[in-house]
Amino acid sequence: MNRYKCLFCANIDFCQACHLINRTNHDPHHTDQHLLICVKDSTKYSQALLLHSRSHIYHTNRVCSSCFMDLIIGIRYTCSCRIHLCEKCEFIGLDDQTHRRRKINRPN
């Protein structure tokens, strides 16, 4: 069954049925304008690094080249083309997958 994960709200994870109804009932901070990603195989998603708490890692003076988060919290990825990605954008594959990436899991 497909699942839908909000890119902005860590606690928003909808099943197929909830995705089809009013999505703002689950969290007052979640809006219909927030982007959701569809996770086709939700059994693999539960093992993803994205779900582990990385809130203590702050990358100051770095902006995500995809979602423009101006303080990257969590794991940061740098690419051979000199872009920076937060872990959410890296997880959904918003950069060229053939590029070499470096995973940075320590605060700068």
Cα→Cα distances 68→56, 62, 104, Å: 19, 9, 18
Q: Where are the domains of the chain?
A: 3-47, 58-104
Partners of 79 in the beta sheet? 101
Measured distance CA(40)–CA(3) in Å, rounded: 7
Tell me the mean pLDDT per 10 residues along the chain, length 108.
76 75 60 75 54 73 88 86 85 71 82
pLDDT given for residue 41 in this prediction: 62
Say if residues 88 and 50 touch (Cβ distance below 8 Å).
yes
Measured distance CA(108)–CA(95) in Å, rounded: 22
The alpha carbon dihedral of 49, 53, 54, 55 has a sign of positive
| pTM above threshold 0.75 | no
